[in-house]
Amino acid sequence: MRFLPFIVLGLSVLTLAACAPRTARTTVIPGPVQTEVRPMRLGVGQDIQLEVTLNGRNVPPNELNWTSSDPRVVSVSASGLARAATAGQASVRATQTGSGRTLAEFRVQVAAPPPATPQRLDTMTGQVLELSNAARARGQTCGAQNFPPVPPLNSEARLGAAAQAHAADMAALNYFSHTSQDGRTLKNRIDAAGYGWRAIAENIAAGQASAQEVVTGWLNSEGHCRNLMNAEYRELGIGLARNAGGKLYWVQDFGTR
């Protein structure tokens, strides 16, 4: 994951919840080779209590040995509690203690969890502002310099437009720099957005999956941390874009008018 700070001084200076497991019971008809085979489906992370009924009674755990054909897919405890660990197929068998007779077989199909819905980008940019202001309110140590608590940053639309355009440009053209591919600098982008400034600075990052991760990374980097904690900056624009491969590009543009 990559971070890069820049500063310009102005002219004036998620399956089911893990609740109580469900129960699956199978009834065995007495006979020399009778085995009850039961198919079932589970989702990753689900538990189910397996039980066997023989001659009208539940067979107690101490009379059964439980095994799984693939514990990586479905594990099973000595009491018959089966847990789906990963997508795939496995057979869970209950054999009679002593005789070794297989009384029941549960053929389990484990379904993969649905893919997570990507978090909305505008939600994450809002989180960046909140986390940045929380850090400013606490005070921070950036390298060897201690920064006391400073006032919060206010969201500014023109800075936001410049930051978003740069994030989208980096994502579309697959580069990582404060200088755009066409040679435009931070100053050029801010001026083009119509923001009249006395001082500006920029933080960029790429590859972080969440607002928490990117702000933590900036705070752990001296140059980025100094930008974020600088009391001179009172306004902030945030840009965030995702490239075709899902990689996120983050931009913070700070300003003072």
pLDDT in tens, 188-213: 999 999 999 999 999 999 999 999 99
Q: How many CB atoms lie within 10 A of CB 4?
A: 15
Confidence label for 16 from pLDDT (cuts 50, 70 and 90) = very low
Q: What pTM was computed for the model?
A: 0.59
- What's residue 234's pLDDT? 98
| Residue whose C-alpha is closest to residue 18's, from 44, 41, 57 | 44
Over residues 49-69, mean pLDDT: 88
- The rounded Cα 130 to chain-centroid distance in angstroms is 18
Mean pLDDT in residue range 27-31:
47
Instruction: Fold for 118-256, please state it.
Output: Pathogenesis-related Protein p14a (3.40.33)
For residue 227, what pLDDT is reported?
A: 97
Residue ranges per domain, the chain?
22-111, 118-256
d(CA 113, CA 159): 40
Coil, helix or strand for 16? Answer: coil
Q: Per-residue confidence at 12, pLDDT binned at 50, 70, 90?
A: very low
pLDDT score, position 177: 96
pLDDT in tens, 219-237: 999 999 999 999 999 999 9
Question: Are the beta carbons of 240 and 215 closer than 8 angstroms?
Answer: no
Residue type for position 83: R
Query: What count of other Cβ atoms lies within 10 Å of the Cβ of residue 231?
Result: 12
pLDDT score of 113: 78
Radius of gyration of the chain (CA): 29
- What span, in angstroms and rounded, lies between the C-alpha atoms of 74 and 67? 10
Same topology between domain 22-111 and domain 118-256: no
pLDDT for 187 equals: 97
Residue 38, pLDDT score: 84
The C-alpha angle 146, 223, 150, rounded to 5 degrees, equals: 45
pLDDT of residue 232: 97
Which numeric CATH code is attached to 22-111?
2.60.40.1080
The confidence band for 245, taking pLDDT boundaries of 50, 70 and 90, is confident
